[in-house]
Amino acid sequence: MGSSDLQEWLDIVAPKLGVSSEIVDAVSSAVLDRVRDVAHDVVRPGAPLTAFLVGLAAGQAVQGDGSGTQADPSEVAAAVVKRLLVVDELVENWRQNGSGDAEVELQ
């Protein structure tokens, strides 16, 4: 998977998950660097889970009301599950078509 495939994938997934491409562009390199470090220096399965935890922590830290209070964990978990289902559908579409968008909406 080349860098153009990665960019295409991110361009598809980010808006479907309600994430600004500006944020993705700003943090992608750093996330990939950290995930690589975890995979090579700690334990391979820890890499994606670490990326998940970083994203989750960031989401909890930045609340819509600006108060900085953490969201209810069950609400956060439900939001994560919804987004994982979107990713599942997008991955399946990617597998079947090699690239491209899918008619997937965040419910």
So what's the pLDDT on residue 83? 84
Q: With contact defined as beta carbons under 8 Å apart, do 90 and 13 qualify?
A: yes
Q: Please, what is the Cα angle at 23 between 13 and 68, to 5 degrees?
A: 110
Query: What is the residue-wise DSSP string for 43-58?
Result: -TTHHHHHHHHHHHHH
CA distances from 5 to 10, 25, 99 (A): 9, 15, 8
Q: Per-residue pLDDT tens for 20-77?
A: 888 898 999 999 999 999 999 898 999 999 999 998 888 877 775 666 676 777 887 7
